Amino acid sequence: MTKKILALTVISAFVISIISVGMAPITTATNGSYTKTLTADGDELGEVRVTDDGYNMSIEFTVTDSDWCFTETMISIESYYNENVIHSPCKDTYTYVVNIDDQGIPRGETVEITAEATIKDKITKETLYLTDSGLETGDGLDAKLFEVEVNETENKAYLTHLKDLAGFDQVDALACSADGKQIYAIEKFTEHLGVYNVTDGSFTDLGEISGLPEDQVVLAAFSPNNDLLYVAGDNTDQLYTIDVTQQTLTADSIGEVEKSTGGNLDIQGADLVFAADGTLYIWVNPSTLYKVEDVTDPSAKAVNMGSPSQDYYFTGLAILEAGTGDLVASVHSDGDHSPIYVLDPTTANVGNAYNTYLGTDEYQVGYGDMTVGELTDVREASTEIMYDVPGETFDCEIYAGAGQNDITKATHVGNITVDVMSQEITITLFEGFGLKEAHLYVGEEALPMRENPGKGRGDSYTVAPGQFPYKAENLDGAMTYTFQNVTELDEDAHFILHVELTNGETGFAHCDDPTTFTDASEGDIQRWGWTNLVSDNINLGND
């Protein structure tokens, strides 16, 4: 039969600090962008690219190693903008688009951007484990260790028998080491610690653990942050840590777990499990899920994540997708079935249930526990990018006498300044030149339409300055003039600026990537001159 196995993957966390200070100093930036490689422990796994089009800032996360993907990304632009997205399924790339003006981000100023991402290895195979200590407590039989494969298509959980744990009758506390190579089991009544070697299949009794609550340890999990074994029991409501590398095994109490709503957690059976980021989940029977963000922080408190609509007395708890996915839980057989349930860690809602099978026969699991292999390779990386928020002002040249649009033969007589935010265009001529008249067209089309094309003639484009809607006449040789309240001026606008000089010459504004009148009219207009697009120029200062 074909089995579809829920994949468990190792997670790696990137903390990427991007300080945005300015486009101008970025010598390797092109078209207002900058890209930095994300390196963790010498491995190049991704990159962050910051760009803007003059109006929107884009922050793009991309993995560069196809074995990895993002499960969560977050950006913070000082106090102006914060957003995080959880990606399920995980993504190879994700882009945040932030409107500069809508968020009140100051133009032309330095802002600090912080970007964070969680990235996981897509290749690591999920391995779930389960112990069965029998339908009755203290039956004198060795506990059995199984590997679990969940088949979503058949709605079954297939068990593979790995080992009878010799001398360990009641194993209600099971935990896999951070590297997935050892599975530790605590015998409830003798308080001995045993270890199953995943590689060679051997099982070794490591001896008694001192300091444990008597006959009550039913919860256990390995922390991915400090490689300590965390355990708890029903009667003391305390958490204990065990350093399994020591020859003398001792359980050190770290105290009771305080709830965020006040009081301490009343631990009743079930289990605990660590997510890959170090978050601790605790299921308290009959039916409440708690979360502790950082169990190593003495001030951390248990947050109630919710309870399902009915009571569930779970015996074990594990986590999918290398600590980033849903929780799974085992139960004692009700006489007919002993399903493994899927739980939402954010709500405690119970989802699919998979009855356990050994071969083709349904198997009744009794008391026991669950754990999951390999929660490793959690990394952090940081980088800084110097980046400026663009302004909405840009400059263009004014050329006179550019026959056939050849500016090499023309005279550069002055410049214009376009201020989109203020909706103003200012003409400034060089010494020795003066203005007689100025004309301005701004609109959605590249060229204005003729207002009165004449009897029997359809609409047509025109570049006759007299047809432009903004006119300034009798300027008497002034060297500057400002068109104000140009309401059509926005990022999508085209504009043509024409000047008539006191020396009889005429000129047009020439900006970045202009379009000639001939090209804009598809050959209908043969006069020299240019129409300009605001969006092609708004971030010139960032090149």
CATH architecture of 11-121: Sandwich (2.60)
CB atoms within 10 A of CB 302: 24
Query: Does 148 have pLDDT greater than 80?
Result: yes
Query: Does 279 have pLDDT greater than 80?
Result: yes
CA–CA distance from 229 to each of 184, 245, 506 (Å)? 9, 10, 83
CATH architecture of 128-372: 6 Propeller (2.120)
Q: 436 with 477: CB under 8 angstroms?
A: yes
Instruction: Indicate the range of 82-91, 218-227, 452-461 predicted with least confidence.
Output: 452-461
At residue 71, the pLDDT reads 79
pLDDT digits (tens, 9 = 90+) for 465-496: 989 999 999 999 999 999 999 999 988 899 99
Q: What share of the chain is helix, strand, coil (3-state, %, to 5)?
A: 5, 50, 50
Q: How confident is the model at residue 323 (pLDDT cuts 50, 70, 90)?
A: confident
CA–CA distance from 156 to each of 160, 172, 366, 529 (Å)? 13, 23, 17, 74
At residue 373, the pLDDT reads 79
pLDDT digits (tens, 9 = 90+) for 70-128: 878 888 888 999 999 988 778 899 999 999 889 988 887 788 888 888 777 776 666 89
Domain ranges of the chain: 11-121, 128-372, 393-542
Tokens of 9: 């993957």
Instruction: Indicate the range of 302-316, 320-334, 429-443 predicted with least confidence.
Output: 320-334
Residue with token string 């590398």: 245
pLDDT digits (tens, 9 = 90+) for 38-81: 776 778 888 889 888 777 889 999 999 888 888 788 888 889 99
Tokens of 304: 């109630």
Sorted by sequence, the CB contacts under 8 Å of residue 199 that are 6+ apart come out as: 181
**How confident is the model over 208-221, as a mean pLDDT?**
88
Q: How many Å apart are CA 219 and CA 209, to the nearest integer?
A: 15
Q: How many Å apart are CA 433 and CA 436, to the nearest integer?
A: 10
Please state, rounded to an integer, the average pLDDT across all residues of the chain: 85
- From the list 205, 240, 243, 210, the residue with the least C-alpha distance to 227 is 243
At residue 482, the pLDDT reads 96
Q: DSSP E strands: which ranges in 266-326?
A: 271-274, 280-284, 288-292, 303-306, 314-319
Query: Does 354 have pLDDT greater than 80?
Result: yes
DSSP track, 319-347: ESGGGTS-EEEEE---SS--PEEEE-TTT
Q: How many Å apart are CA 203 and CA 196, to the nearest integer?
A: 4
Q: Is the pTM of this model over 0.85?
A: no
CB atoms within 10 A of CB 31: 12
What are the phi and psi torsion angles at 520 (to 5°)? Answer: -65, -30
Residue 520: its H or E element: helix 517-520
453 against 519, higher pLDDT: 519
Tokens of 389: 């928020």
At residue 454, the pLDDT reads 55
- From the list 129, 131, 165, 163, the residue with the least C-alpha distance to 148 is 129
Domains 11-121 and 128-372 share a fold: no
